[in-house]
């Protein structure tokens, strides 16, 4: 049996956003010689529903919490969920299961651990993604273990922390859980992909070459925090060679890393107003600045230009927020290249 090729792949996803999971899995199935059918997607944000409807999904539901699981197509090859990260994020209060935004993860876990001998109503595999904060602290570790135990009832589950930095010039540490249904013959065979062997991608590789830089960067209207973070960016560039670029989040609190050389800090939905700023050293004591534009934000998530129709179907702020919420495209694709042949060849 050839475990690198597939024939037909069916995909379903919740909390879909701009459909990064479906697009990446479709690309992975094509590279494996197969055809992908996007069975369903669900998304609560009205601005994103039109994007999903234009992305060749058979069914688009407006909210997974109002979509009974028994109306979804059965035996889907792979199911994806990028549930809201705010309940788990160390940037917030980490209310975890007490936060109403944790309901999508609870609902998905209950569905995937459902009782009964008939597993045919469950997907053949799943990929769940969230921030690494869901595994930290005593309460977080205990809740994460409970989630793994629940999912492990019907699936062989493996998980790993993956930093998008290995694939794109963005520091974005996330937890990925991958499960394969226990009744499939290759359920134990999934192994997370190794990072690409090539050198780490650099921030300048994704920047628009003809963008305009400004000699002034007045952030006073954003308060002392923004002015302080701009100062940190200048200090980081002081000993760097001319032409070096730093990215900084001018809204970052003192508890969060705000400046990175040749790599972007984590894109966040809360920064959709344009908080990510670039600083470049032109000469000693001479620095220029500009904001990270929307095309660069998409590139920082590894989203190919073929999927950039989103830019024409929503405002820039809405698209920026969706990018901050999205799964990192090349990571999902790399997982799909390992996962889909195992699952599609197990039935």
DSSP symbols for 231-300: HHHHHHHTTSPTT-EEEEETT--TTS--EEESSBPPP-GGGTTT-EEEEEEEETTEEEEEEPPHHHHHHH
* Average pLDDT rounded to a whole number, residues 113-134: 86
Judge whether residue 151 has pLDDT over 70: yes
- Under DSSP, the state recorded for 218 is -
Q: Which of 159, 154, 158 lies closest to 110, judged by CA? A: 154
Top-confidence residue, 224 or 181 = 181
110 pLDDT tier (thresholds 50, 70, 90): very high
Report the pLDDT value the prediction gives residue 93, as an integer from 0 to 100.
Answer: 60
Tally: H helices and E strands in the chain: 8, 11
Helix (H) or strand (E) holding 178: strand 173-181
Judge whether residue 174 has pLDDT over 90: yes
Angle at the Cα of 160 (from 157 to 161), degrees rounded to 5? 150
Judge whether residue 85 has pLDDT over 70: yes
Report the pLDDT value the prediction gives residue 105, as an integer from 0 to 100.
Answer: 93
**In terms of DSSP H, where are the helices of the chain?**
20-31, 46-53, 103-112, 137-151, 224-237, 294-300, 316-325, 329-344
Distances (CA, A) of 193 to 21, 155, 161, 237: 17, 19, 12, 34
What would the pLDDT profile of 15-35 be if each residue is shown by its tens digit?
999 999 999 999 999 999 889
Report the pLDDT value the prediction gives residue 159, as an integer from 0 to 100.
Answer: 97
Assess contact for 43 and 49: CB atoms under 8 A.
Answer: yes
Report the pLDDT value the prediction gives residue 59, as an integer from 0 to 100.
Answer: 93
Contacts of 45 (CB under 8 A, 6+ apart): 17, 318, 322
Judge whether residue 231 has pLDDT over 60: yes
State both tokens at 282. 């032109």
What would the pLDDT profile of 241-288 be if each residue is shown by its tens digit?
999 999 988 777 666 656 888 999 888 765 555 668 899 999 998 999
Judge whether residue 306 has pLDDT over 70: no
Judge whether residue 223 has pLDDT over 70: no
Judge whether residue 198 has pLDDT over 90: no
Kindly give the pairing relationship between strand 173-181 and strand 259-261: unpaired
226 pLDDT tier (thresholds 50, 70, 90): confident
Report the pLDDT value the prediction gives residue 47, as an integer from 0 to 100.
Answer: 85
In the chain, the N- to C-terminal Cα span, in Å, equals 12
- Alpha-carbon gap, residue 249 to 136, rounded angstroms: 24
- Alpha-carbon gap, residue 328 to 127, rounded angstroms: 13
Report the pLDDT value the prediction gives residue 144, as an integer from 0 to 100.
Answer: 92
Ranges of each domain in the chain: 8-199+304-344, 212-292
Top-confidence residue, 71 or 160 = 160
State both tokens at 207. 């920047």
Class of domain 8-199+304-344: alpha beta
What would the pLDDT profile of 49-84 be if each residue is shown by its tens digit?
988 988 889 999 998 988 888 778 877 999 999 988
* pTM for the model: 0.92
- Alpha-carbon gap, residue 295 to 88, rounded angstroms: 28
* Ramachandran angles phi, psi of 202, nearest 5°: -105, 155
* Average pLDDT rounded to a whole number, residues 120-142: 89
Mean of all residue pLDDT scores within the chain: 86
- Alpha-carbon gap, residue 262 to 240, rounded angstroms: 11
* Ramachandran angles phi, psi of 71, nearest 5°: -95, -5
The HSE-up count of residue 195 (CA atoms within 13 Å, CB side) is 13
Q: What percent of the chain has pLDDT over 90?
A: 50
């Amino acid at each position: 049996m050839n475990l690198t090729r597939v024939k037909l792949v069916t995909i379903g996803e919740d909390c879909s956003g701009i459909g990064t999971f479906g697009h990446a899995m479709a690309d992975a199935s094509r590279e494996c010689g197969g055809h992908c059918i996007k069975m369903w997607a669900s998304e609560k944000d009205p601005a994103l529903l039109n994007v999903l409807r234009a992305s060749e999904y058979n069914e688009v539901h407006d909210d997974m919490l109002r979509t009974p699981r028994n109306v979804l197509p059965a035996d889907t090859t792979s199911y994806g969920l990028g549930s809201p990260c705010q309940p788990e994020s160390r940037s917030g209060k980490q209310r975890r299961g007490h936060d109403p935004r944790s309901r999508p993860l609870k609902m998905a876990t209950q569905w995937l651990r459902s009782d009964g001998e008939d597993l045919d109503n469950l997907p053949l595999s799943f990929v769940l993604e969230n921030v690494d904060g869901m595994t930290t602290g005593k309460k977080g570790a205990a809740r994460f273990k409970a989630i793994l135990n629940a999912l492990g009832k019907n699936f062989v589950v493996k998980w790993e922390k993956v930093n998008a930095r290995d694939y794109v010039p963005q520091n974005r540490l996330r937890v990925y859980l991958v499960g394969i249904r226990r009744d499939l013959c290759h359920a134990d065979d999934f192994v997370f992909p190794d990072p690409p062997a090539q050198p780490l991608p650099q921030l300048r590789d994704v920047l628009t070459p003809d963008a305009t830089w400004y000699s002034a960067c007045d952030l006073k209207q954003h308060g002392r925090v923004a002015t302080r973070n701009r100062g940190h960016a200048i200090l980081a560039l002081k000993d760097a060679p001319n032409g070096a670029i730093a990215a900084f989040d001018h809204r970052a609190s003192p508890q969060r890393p705000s400046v990175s050389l040749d790599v972007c800090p984590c894109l966040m939905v809360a920064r959709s107003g344009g908080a990510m700023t670039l600083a470049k050293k032109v000469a000693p004591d001479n620095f220029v600045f500009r904001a990270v534009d929307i095309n660069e934000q998409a590139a920082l998530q590894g989203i190919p230009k073929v999927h950039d129709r989103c830019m024409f179907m929503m405002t820039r702020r809405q698209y920026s927020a969706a990018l901050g919420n999205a799964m990192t495209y090349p990571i999902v694709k790399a997982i799909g290249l390992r996962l889909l042949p195992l699952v599609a060849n197990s039935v």
